[in-house]
Structure 1
């Protein structure tokens, strides 16, 4: 099966300001490759229900474009987009010097982790 790519977001200045991100992200694209959806399935049972998992997967662009908040971790080269539906869904994007930032995974997080990420 051919792996395809989809751009979820092109980061602009307004997005950087809204989510207090470093200006170096301006102009970068957040992309997802079709093979990541197979990886997401590994986390499906971690969600409170199959419906919550499916909701998070189908709303991945919404999670990235309109998150409740964004957190970054330079040590892990990660950018975390958190959006609460019934569960707290988190999309993890790998930070790199490249023009494209790639979605790595999607999984639910508990409120403790959500609060900790929201403070960082």
Structure 2
């Protein structure tokens, strides 16, 4: 997703460096509106919160494109890969690209991490 081109949105005001930045901003927007719910148990939820709280913006480039800190830099700061945050972020692709989405629209998006753990 780092090198993927952002999806054109008719009402979008920001200019994103890549699809990853666009997806994280969509996630932030939905979380602020309380339109996303994470079904995650205790220890995993703590890790998810730490990862999401540590998403950092990089300096905007000369083209005024929004960029995020690299995954490698984030791994160094956190001491682990932000895998949970990335999984949630990747789900936002379907919110941005509705025409390709196999997902039925609901009022609140629910992501069940406990179902994915073995």
TM-score, L = length of structure 2: 0.34
Kindly name which structure, 1 or 2, has the bigger radius of gyration based on alpha carbons.
2
More strand, by proportion:
1
More helix, by proportion:
2
TM-score, L = length of structure 1: 0.33
Structure with larger RCO (C-alpha < 8 A, sep 6+): 2
